[in-house]
C-alpha cells in the first residue's frame, strides 16, 4: 500500500534540498566573481567560499537520498537497496559537512584548518557507517523492522557528533556577526534535526507523520540557515577593507601612519603613547608579515602563546578607533586588520609590499633580547 504522506515528504525534501544547493552555489559564484581578487591576497588561508561548496554538495546528497528512496521504498524487496544506499549517502553527507566545517573560522579549534584532526574525524565517521551496515547484516535489520534497529545506533552516534559540531560552529558564527536570533534558531533547528532521527531506532508507524513533519521543518530550517550564513559572509566581505588599498608605515617608536581608504583613513598618524605593548604587538605582526616565510607569518594568541590573549588584539583596534575618533561604520574591527588562520593563530592583513618599517626602528627592535627570534625573519 502506498504511503502518500511519506511520498510527499520525500518529494518535498528532494526539491527543497536541490533548490538550497543551487542557491548556495549561486552565492559561491557571486563571491568568486566579485571578490576573487580580494581573496587571492589571503595566501593559503582556508576561506568560507570553499565551505559553501561543501555545504552545497551536502544538500545535493540529501536530495539524491530522498529521490532514490522515493523510487524504491514502496517495494518490499528493495529494502536492502535503500539500506545500502542510505549508508553510502550518509558517509558522503558526513564527509561534506566535515569538510565544510574545516573552512568555517568559528568552528571548533580542533577542526578548523586542522588537517590531521579533520582526517581523523572523517575516518571515524566512515568507521561508524561501516559498522552500521555490518550490524544491519548481523541482526537482519530492514527499513520495516519493528523493535530496536541496532544498525541505526552507530548512525545515531554519527548524527550526534555532527550535530554538536554544527551547533557550535553556527552559534559562534552568528554570535560573532551579531545575529543573536539566528544563532538561537540554528541551535533549535539542529536539535530538531537530531530528534527526528531518534524514531529510526524503532519502526513505529503511528509516529511516521510527526517524524516526517519534524524532519521537513528541521531540514528546511537548516538549509535556510546555510543561506543566511553564505549571505552574511558576502556582506562581511563587502564591508572588509580591500587589502590592495591598505598601507601601514612604522615611523618611530609608538608612531604609525596608516591608510585604509574604505574607512576614511588616509595616511593618518597614530600615537600609541604609553600603550607600548600594543605597539610592540602590532610591530611583531608587521615584521612577520613582511619578512617571514609563509608558515611563520602568524602569531599564536592564547594563554601561554606569544600573545597571551585575544584581548590584546582588541585593545589595538579600540585604541586606533579612539585616537582617530572613528564612529559607527568607520570604526575598525578585528577582521579589518587581522586574519584568523586557525588553531589560535592570527596574521596581519596588510600586503608585505604595503608594510614599511623605519630601518633604525627595526634594528633596535630585533636587537632587543626579548625579540631575538625576529632576527631570523629578517635574515631569511
The CATH number of whichever domain residue 110 belongs to comes to 1.20.1070
User: Of 209, 239, 269, which residue sits at a domain end?
Assistant: 239
How far from each other are the two terminal CA atoms of the chain, in whole angstroms?
Answer: 75
Evaluate if residue 13 carries a pLDDT over 80. yes
Evaluate if residue 356 carries a pLDDT over 90. yes
Which positions ≥6 away from 86 have C-beta within 8 Å?
A: 65, 69
Q: What is the pLDDT of residue 205?
A: 62
* 168 and 259 together in one domain: no
* 224 and 253 together in one domain: no
Q: What is the mean pLDDT of the chain?
A: 81
pLDDT in tens, 129-174: 677 767 766 766 555 555 566 666 777 777 888 889 899 989 988 9
User: Of 211, 239, 267, which residue sits at a domain end?
Assistant: 239
Cβ 375 vs Cβ 285: under 8 Å: no
User: Of 223, 239, 255, which residue sits at a domain end?
Assistant: 239
Q: What is the pLDDT of residue 60?
A: 93
* 248 and 318 together in one domain: yes
- Higher pLDDT residue, 98 or 229? 229
* 219 and 268 together in one domain: no
* 350 and 325 together in one domain: yes
From 87-96, 187-196, 262-271, 361-370, the region with the lowest mean pLDDT: 87-96
* 13 and 148 together in one domain: yes
- Read off the pLDDT band of 182 (50, 70, 90): very high
- Average pLDDT (68-84) is 65
* 200 and 79 together in one domain: yes
- Read off the pLDDT band of 228 (50, 70, 90): very high
Q: What is the pLDDT of residue 250?
A: 92
Which positions ≥6 away from 136 have C-beta within 8 Å?
A: 83, 87, 142, 151
* 70 and 181 together in one domain: yes
Evaluate if residue 259 carries a pLDDT over 60. yes
- And the C-alpha cell for 75? 517495494
What is the distance between the alpha carbons of residues 243 and 151, in angstroms, rounded to a whole number?
52
Q: What is the pLDDT of residue 140?
A: 63
* 226 and 251 together in one domain: no
Q: What is the pLDDT of residue 308?
A: 85
Evaluate if residue 1 carries a pLDDT over 50. no
State how far Cα 111 lies from the chain centre: 9
Which positions ≥6 away from 80 have C-beta within 8 Å?
A: 142
Q: What is the pLDDT of residue 144?
A: 53
Neighbours of 16 (CB within 10 A): 19
Q: Give the chain's domain count.
A: 2
* 102 and 199 together in one domain: yes
Evaluate if residue 194 carries a pLDDT over 70. yes
* 232 and 363 together in one domain: no
Q: Residue 270: which domain range?
A: 243-379
Cβ 60 vs Cβ 17: under 8 Å: yes
* 77 and 138 together in one domain: yes
Could you tell me the sign of the dihedral formed by the alpha carbons of 92, 60, 72, 212, in that order?
positive
Q: What is the pLDDT of residue 95?
A: 82
Among candidates 294, 289, 256, 254, which has minimal Cα distance to 273?
254
Mean pLDDT highest for which of 107-116, 153-162, 210-219?
210-219
Which positions ≥6 away from 286 have C-beta within 8 Å?
A: 248, 250, 348, 350, 355, 357
Amino acid at each position: 500500500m502506498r504511503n502518500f504522506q511519506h511520498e510527499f515528504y520525500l518529494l518535498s525534501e528532494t526539491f527543497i534540498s536541490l533548490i538550497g544547493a543551487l542557491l548556495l552555489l549561486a552565492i559561491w559564484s557571486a563571491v568568486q566573481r566579485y571578490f576573487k581578487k580580494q581573496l587571492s591576497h589571503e595566501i593559503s588561508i582556508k576561506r568560507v567560499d570553499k565551505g559553501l561548496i561543501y555545504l552545497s554538495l551536502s544538500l545535493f546528497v540529501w536530495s539524491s537520498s530522498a529521490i532514490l528512496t522515493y523510487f524504491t521504498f514502496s517495494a518490499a524487496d528493495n529494502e536492502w537497496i535503500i539500506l545500502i544506499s542510505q549508508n553510502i549517502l550518509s558517509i558522503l553527507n558526513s564527509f561534506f559537512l566535515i569538510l565544510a566545517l574545516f573552512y568555517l573560522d568559528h568552528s571548533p579549534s580542533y577542526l578548523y584548518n586542522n588537517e590531521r584532526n579533520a582526517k581523523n574525524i572523517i575516518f571515524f565517521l566512515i568507521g561508524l557507517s561501516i559498522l552500521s551496515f555490518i550490524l544491519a547484516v548481523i541482526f537482519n535489520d530492514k527499513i520495516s523492522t519493528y523493535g530496536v534497529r541496532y544498525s541505526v545506533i552507530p548512525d545515531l552516534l554519527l548524527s550526534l557528533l555532527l550535530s554538536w559540531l554544527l551547533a557550535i560552529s553556527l552559534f559562534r558564527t552568528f554570535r560573532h556577526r551579531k545575529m543573536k536570533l539566528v544563532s538561537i534558531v540554528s541551535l533549535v533547528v539542529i536539535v530538531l534535526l537530531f530528534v527526528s532521527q531518534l524514531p529510526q531506532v524503532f519502526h513505529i508507524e503511528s509516529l511516521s507523520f510527526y517524524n516526517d513533519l519534524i524532519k521537513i521543518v528541521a531540514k528546511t530550517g537548516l538549509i535556510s540557515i546555510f543561506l543566511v550564513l553564505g549571505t552574511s559572509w558576502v556582506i562581511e566581505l563587502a564591508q572588509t577593507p580591500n587589502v590592495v588599498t591598505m598601507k601601514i608605515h612604522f615611523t618611530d617608536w609608538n608612531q604609525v601612519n596608516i591608510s585604509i581608504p574604505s574607512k576614511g583613513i588616509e595616511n593618518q598618524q597614530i600615537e600609541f603613547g604609553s600603550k607600548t605593548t600594543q605597539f610592540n604587538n602590532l610591530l611583531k605582526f608587521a615584521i612577520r608579515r613582511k619578512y617571514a616565510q609563509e608558515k611563520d607569518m602568524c602569531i599564536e594568541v592564547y594563554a601561554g602563546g606569544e600573545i597571551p590573549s585575544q584581548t590584546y588584539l582588541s585593545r589595538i583596534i579600540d585604541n586606533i578607533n579612539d585616537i582617530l575618533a572613528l564612529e559607527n561604520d568607520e570604526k575598525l574591527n578585528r577582521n579589518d586588520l587581522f586574519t584568523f588562520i586557525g588553531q589560535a593563530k592570527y596574521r596581519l592583513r596588510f600586503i608585505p609590499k604595503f608594510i614599511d618599517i623605519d630601518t633604525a626602528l627595526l634594528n633596535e627592535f630585533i636587537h632587543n633580547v626579548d625579540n631575538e627570534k625576529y632576527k631570523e625573519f629578517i635574515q631569511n
